[in-house]
Chains A and B, each alone.
Chain A
Amino acid sequence: MSRNHVNATVNGDSVEFLCETGQTLLEALRDEVGLTGTKEGCGTGDCGACSVMVDGRLVCSCLMLAVEAEGKSIETIEGMAKGEALHPLQRKFLEHAALQCGICTPGILIAARSLLERNPDPSEAEVRYWLAGNLCRCTGYHKIVDAVLDAARELRGA
């Protein structure tokens, strides 16, 4: 089966990979690029565990073909911390005990960062509706919502 050559930017680095035409961006990130921080929970865009940013848009990477990433800039969980410095959302998730098994955490962090970039002062309801595409089966969301609201406060300097 012939494979397609794709050039993209991942977390600021130029990346080239080969993929089958039917492979999703999620599969290419995990299996071809070797970044396994992005998770597959359903493969049908229902759980949000595979959330990444593509040219600044929040997408389920399981719903996008890898070949569509040509020329695009992709951001994954692996690029969220700057060196040793965790993003405030990552820190607040730890401080608020907002993760348990952690399989949904990368997707939720990516989605939450995208929310705070658009809306630096979301209400609890806005956080809940924005994250409604990201399933978490462990926490009941309480501590996740707390962590996102607290990170928003810190980022606003409030």
Chain B
Amino acid sequence: MSDTLKYEEKKLKIVGTRPLRPDGVDKVTGRARYGADYNLAGQLIGKVLRSPYAHARIKAIDVSAALALPGVKAVVTRDDFPEMPNEYASAGELTVNYRAVTRNMMAREKVLYDGHPVAALAAVSESVARAALALIKVDYEVLPHVIDVVEAMRPDAPLLHEDQYTEGVKPKPARPSNIAKRLEYGHGDLAAGFAKADVIIEREFNTKPVHQGYIEPQACLASYSADGQAELWTCTQGHFVFRAQCAKVLQMDVSKIRVTPTEIGGGFGGKNNVYNEPLAIALSRKSNRPVKMVMTREEVFRATGPTPGANVKVKIGCTLDGRITAAQAEVNFQAGAFPGSPVNQASMCAFTRYDIANVRVVGHDVTVNRPKVAAYRAPGAPIVVFGVESVIDELSKKLGIDPIEFRLKNAAKEGTQTYYGPKLGPIGYVQTLEAARAHPHYSAPLGPNQGRGVATGFWFNIGNETTCSLNLQPDGTLTLNLGTIDVAGGSRASLSMMVAEELGIELERVRPIIGDTSTLGFNFVTAGSRSTFASGMAGVIASRDMIEKLRARVAKIREVPLAAVAWKNGRAEPADARVVKFEPMSLAEIAAMAGRTGGPIAGHAEINAQGAGPGFGAHIVDVEVDRQTGAVKILRYTVVQDVGKAIHPAYVEGQMQGGAAQGIGWALNEEYVYGADGVLQNPGFLDYRVPVASDLPMIDTVIVEVPNPNHPYGVRGCGEVPIISPMAAIANAIDNAVGVRLYQQPFSPPRVLEALSGPAKR
């Protein structure tokens, strides 16, 4: 069957309603089992020793005293893991290099950031494990470090990787560099475009790394048996990708590792890659006991992926009537200790909301002495969009054009040529902007020191490898075995809803489960807003596959031609009772007879979903600035977004509200704070301030539905777009409130006060 089913408009019974989520009761009663809730008899507790330095050569590691401590059963260091050649693989929205994966999970020649693992051990209890960590002696030669992206790009900066030469530059540079890669996108004639402009604005922006901030720290439990098989329970966004990464760095056969995904307590891109999982398997292999490893919050901040800090330069020119003639950006992203920041995606997102003839974006992926960055909800896009949408706002203000009107004049539409390759298909950007302009929020009155800002966002959304099985159970109910993780958004609900819609049965008769890696073919990570799109496509294909089998079975049982059997109203009925009559059969009746009429019945889908539909959003925010303290209060917030089709509107709203809240935190408070020594100073929720309930107002939502033609229900995906616009929208609102434009995130009280008291930094 085809990997892509086209959109068909039809009357819907279940899709678009708001049923209770199937995983809900377990989550409100404490029964749901997350990563740290799994235990095995005889398990050991694993702990990691981490580097206290930002950059140092490891001269020697002595684990003998730790091993001698009673209760310590195994220790692993770099010597327990093989060297990996450069080999690239896809993991979520970012690509990993196994040479870096193995070095990030356990330092080899050097430690490259505060928190970099140096050794791991397993002991009979948490307290023994902690005591043993203190007995490991590491001899470091401390090296100069660099954590700022602009400083790291200088030729005289301390080098993280002596063998790293900038890719994308010809000829190959003579000297190694922290710039791992230079990339460039564009089209048209930039100089000619700027020559046509009446107004040109050029600005520079700087942002700090922020963390995904999932409330559940990484946790896993591994059990390696003497026959060379391993079982792993872990909170992951992609158990198949985790299995592949563990197999590679441990040099095991993929089929010998079985990964069972636990309930996941938030990921947002941060749980696309392994950290402790290979260490737990290695410790279990060495100790012959199950090993459980749970990170502390401090470890989560120090060693798991934040999003990059960045330096972004934006230059846009336009005519007096508000038509953009040229746009240029330089996007410099911290990659952390190993290459692979989302600078590529960010560069492609920078201007893709607009139809601009002349564009150039240059990006740099820069290694610095910080934890290796990970994906975070529309990776990279919020950073570059902060810069671009701030400049767009300045231009519209300078020309006296309403900011939404300005965007509409330049809006990308179906057929707009992107500067990175494809032409855009049917998209809903104009509809989204028009819905924002029509919202009562946009024309509501404001008080003193209050301002309104708008900003927009674009994200690609993705498809990729997806499988599922739909099994008809003996009582006529269905089990939907899914291979994509329900990362929080409610995909078990939305996917079951599409299956129930296809079969024409009550939703309660579809029971969704997430299968382990041995029950289904490969599934890519839940990332890129892909699960409802791609797993939805698979679920529909599996449903239609099952319907064909059901029709064939009923034709056999009723002894009628296949063409005479139609699937209607949740059962097999005569296609035309005037031609061939037979007694209709329900799912339960077919299921009851299945065994003796040909065996059990199941539907399957094994696809590489294509044709993901891009999503666009527009945010409106009102802020009030306290001129005494510099505090910015969010008074009102509205998210407008084209999602293609909202299968379960309540959870689509939840994505829009949650994404906006994360974006508000990013804008106002969140940042990694490092000392001069390169050590992270705020690795906890006390000093790393994520938004709490009293920081936020209600977040209004407007769902726009411009169907994706490449999905049977029109789904685009919705999870990532909502985090893209808040930073820019809030910066624009602050400028409108107090006439001060901020070029550095976060807009925390000290920064706002500084900006209020002096000329803004340009």
Q: Which residues of A contact B (CB under 8 A)?
A: 1, 20, 22, 27, 30, 35-44, 46-47, 49, 76-78, 80-81, 86, 90, 93-97, 99-106, 109, 124-125, 127-129, 131-145
Contact = CB atoms under 8 A, between A and B. Distances in A.
B215 A97 contact: no
B30 interface: yes
A137 B214 contact: yes
Contacts of A131: 692-694
A47 B488 CA distance: 18
A144 B650 CA distance: 12
Contacts of A142: 653, 657, 696, 698-699
A124 B698 CA distance: 10
Given A44-B686, A103-B214, 10 more contacts: A39-B265, A42-B297, A94-B25, A97-B650, A99-B24, A101-B263, A102-B32, A129-B694, A132-B693, A140-B660
Interface residues of B, number: 61
Contacts of A104: 215, 265
A86 B692 contact: no
B90 interface: no
B149 interface: no
B215 A36 contact: no
The 7 A-B residue pairs with the shortest CB-CB distance, nearest first, are: A37-B30, A103-B265, A102-B27, A140-B661, A101-B488, A140-B657, A46-B685
B661 to A, nearest CB: 3
Interface string B355-372: 000000000000000000
Given A78-B30, A139-B658, A145 B698 contact: yes
Contact of A102 (B23, B213, B657, B658): B23
Interface string B293-309: 01011000000000000
Contacts of A30: 36-37
Contact of B30 (A46, A77, A128): A77
Nearest to A102: B27
B490 interface: yes
B215 A41 contact: yes
A77 B29 contact: yes
Nearest to B661: A140
B627 interface: no
A100 B658 contact: yes
Looking at A1, A41, A129, which has the most chain B CB atoms within 10 Å of its CB?
A41
A128 B694 contact: yes
Interface of B: 18, 20-21, 23-34, 36-37, 125-127, 212-217, 263-268, 294, 296-297, 487-490, 650-651, 653-654, 657-662, 684-686, 690-696, 698-699
Contact of A41 (B25, B217, B653, B699): B217
A102 to B, nearest CB: 3
Given A46-B684, A49-B215, A101-B266, A86 B36 contact: no
Nearest to A49: B215
A22 B129 CA distance: 14
A130 B690 CA distance: 16
**Interface of B (DSSP majority class):** loop
Contacts of A78: 29-30
A99 B27 contact: yes
A76 B30 CA distance: 9
A40 B217 contact: yes
A109 B265 contact: no
Contacts of A139: 654, 657-658, 661
B31 A37 contact: yes
A45 to B, nearest CB: 8
A93 to B, nearest CB: 5
Dominant secondary structure of chain A at its interface with chain B: loop
Nearest to B652: A97
Nearest to A145: B693
B21 A97 contact: yes
A101 B216 contact: yes
A1 B262 CA distance: 32
B30 A38 contact: yes
Contacts of A22: 127
A137 B266 contact: yes
B28 A128 contact: no
21 contacts: A39-B265, A46-B684, A46-B685, A49-B215, A80-B30, A90-B29, A97-B490, A99-B24, A100-B489, A100-B658, A101-B264, A103-B214, A103-B216, A127-B693, A133-B692, A134-B693, A139-B654, A140-B654, A140-B660, A143-B654, A143-B657
Contacts of A1: 127
B266 A138 contact: yes
A93 B488 contact: no
Contacts of B214: 101, 103, 137
A94 B29 contact: no
B305 to A, nearest CB: 15
Contacts of A37: 29-31
A39 B217 CA distance: 10
A90 B28 CA distance: 6
User: Which interface residue of A96, A103, A139, A145 has the most chain B CB atoms within 10 A?
Assistant: A103
A99 B651 CA distance: 9
A109 B28 contact: yes
Contacts of A128: 693-694, 696
Contacts of A36: 30, 33, 36-37
Interface centre among A39, A44, A93, A129 (most CB of B within 10 A): A39
A94 B692 contact: no
Contacts of A127: 693
A100 to B, nearest CB: 4
A140 to B, nearest CB: 3
B490 A100 contact: yes
A72 B333 CA distance: 53
B88 to A, nearest CB: 30
Q: Which residue, A39, A94, A95, A141, has most C-beta atoms of chain B within 10 A? A: A141
Contacts of B487: 101
B283 to A, nearest CB: 19
A97 B654 CA distance: 8
B654 A102 contact: no
Contacts of B20: 94-95
Contact of B296 (A43, A90, A96): A43
A129 B686 CA distance: 16
B490 A44 contact: no
A33 to B, nearest CB: 12
Nearest to B639: A140
A94 B21 contact: yes
Nearest to A148: B693
Nearest to A20: B127
A56 to B, nearest CB: 20
A18 B557 CA distance: 63
B638 to A, nearest CB: 12
A37 B34 CA distance: 9
A43 B300 CA distance: 12
B685 A42 contact: yes
A20 B34 CA distance: 24
Contacts of A136: 215, 693
Contacts of A20: 125, 127
B216 A86 contact: no
Given A103-B266, A138-B658, A97 B651 contact: yes
Contact of A140 (B29, B296, B699): B699
A35 B215 contact: no
A35 B30 contact: yes
Nearest to A106: B30
Nearest to A92: B28
Given A35-B30, A37-B31, A140-B660, A135 B216 contact: no
A39 B216 contact: yes
B694 A101 contact: no
